[in-house]
Amino acid sequence: MKAALLGCLLVLTACGPFPEKARDTAPDPSAREEVSHTLARQFHLDERADGSWITVFGPDGATDTLCHYRLVRVPGSNEEVGVPVQRIALLTTTAAPFLEALGVADRIIASVYPDRLRGEVLHRHVRSGAVAALSPAPGGAREQLIDLRPDIIFDAPYGHAIPGPRNGAVTMPVTEYLEQDPLGRADWLRFFAALTGTEDKGEQLMAGIRERYERTCRSRATDSLRPTVFFGSCWQGRWSAPAGDSYMARLIADAGGSYLHADEGHGGNLDLSVEQVLADAARADLWGMIVDVPGLERIAQLPGIDERLVGSNALRPGRVFVANTATADLFGLAQLEPDLLLADLVALFDPAGHADHHGTYFRMLSQ
């Protein structure tokens, strides 16, 4: 699996409670009457004198506005989007689990890689022939989208493109992958709920996710039992690990682990030399990896594990845990299940206290 994928799963602070994060940056703060507080940092919902507004931010946060739209029933300008949207096209599949959770998966009329959409409702919707397959090539879906006439196109703004109306439809960037807080990423439920007219359901779902996450967080072992944890991935012999303020670092800390690179880097991933990886293997209690390996059962099957690592302190059966994207929807449904990600890690870090736990996303390799 490409090391770049690690960034999709990758704020290292003490475990909950999690305060609401108020925004203090908006295109026109003087016109703002009330801000809807969210746990997410990459989008912003405003209630202003002239209506409801939604803003999406890029990699530089609140100073990096990708789009700013007023939500109206009937749009009359390029700064407005008609809601609730009914015909949805996906140029990024990470939006799909949110739409299914909100009960509006049947509004998806087209998607890149529709055969990769997971979830019972999504599978049924795709098999029915109701979802057109869009070309994933840059600009390749242009003619298809003209014919399909979606109300909205959800896209990932890789390369920091500024989206806008396209072929009569609004293009809305989805930057949930930039969220460093697991609950912040799940809070994109409110983003999709605002656009699909399912706000009440979004609030209800998010309240449940937050309550379960905080309850699981409180179930972790005491600080005196904190294991030292390595976590990373290897692609074509090159190792990388999440930065100390990342999504994965936050999960490890909230689960009661001590992440080896907690004090390093800001955003993105850390590139590790082989020497650093060897040093980490010598001092880590547990070794974690994101991989894409069908039929994974043994440590020897992990990418990047050579004779220099075999037999080290961390690379022993019962000390190596994995998130295998070949079997787990790590970059899809897992975004809405941070409580399950956390529960898996809590059980791995304290197996004696959670002997009956069965992993959903992370599991230990026993051989």
Q: What are phi and psi of 304, to 5 degrees?
A: 85, -5
**Average pLDDT of the segment spanning 92-108:** 96
**pLDDT category, 6, cuts 50, 70, 90?**
very low
**Average pLDDT of the segment spanning 44-66:** 91
Using the predicted structure, report yes or no on whether residue 4 has a pLDDT greater than 90: no
* CB atoms closer than 10 angstroms to residue 76: 9
- Give the per-residue pLDDT at 55: 95
Pairing of strands 238-242, 228-235: antiparallel
**pLDDT category, 157, cuts 50, 70, 90?**
confident
**Average pLDDT of the segment spanning 152-181:** 80
Using the predicted structure, report yes or no on whether residue 231 has a pLDDT greater than 90: yes
CA 367 to mean position of chain CA atoms: 30
Segment 291-330, tens digit of pLDDT: 999 999 999 899 988 888 887 888 888 899 999 999 999 9
Q: What are phi and psi of 207, to 5 degrees?
A: -60, -40
- Give the per-residue pLDDT at 166: 60
Segment 13-38, tens digit of pLDDT: 335 433 333 333 444 433 433 444 57
* CB atoms closer than 10 angstroms to residue 124: 12
Asked if 331 contacts 201 with a C-beta cutoff of 8 angstroms, the reply is: no
| Alpha helix ranges (H) inside 284-349 | 338-349
**Average pLDDT of the segment spanning 216-228:** 82
CA 49 to mean position of chain CA atoms: 33
- Give the per-residue pLDDT at 223: 66
Level-2 CATH architecture, domain 3-9+223-365:
3-Layer(aba) Sandwich (3.40)
Separation CA 319–CA 142 (nearest Å): 49
What is the reported pTM? Answer: 0.87
Q: Which tokens in the block code for residue 288?
A: 């974690």
**pLDDT category, 98, cuts 50, 70, 90?**
very high
**Average pLDDT of the segment spanning 219-241:** 87
- Give the per-residue pLDDT at 201: 98
The whole-chain average pLDDT of the chain stands at: 86
- Give the per-residue pLDDT at 105: 96
Using the predicted structure, report yes or no on whether residue 160 has a pLDDT greater than 60: no
- Domain range summary for the chain, segments of one domain joined by +: 3-9+223-365
Asked if 148 contacts 109 with a C-beta cutoff of 8 angstroms, the reply is: yes
**Average pLDDT of the segment spanning 223-228:** 81
**Average pLDDT of the segment spanning 186-214:** 97
- Give the per-residue pLDDT at 159: 58
Whole-angstrom CA distances from 233 to 4, 316, 320 are: 9, 17, 13
Using the predicted structure, report yes or no on whether residue 209 has a pLDDT greater than 80: yes
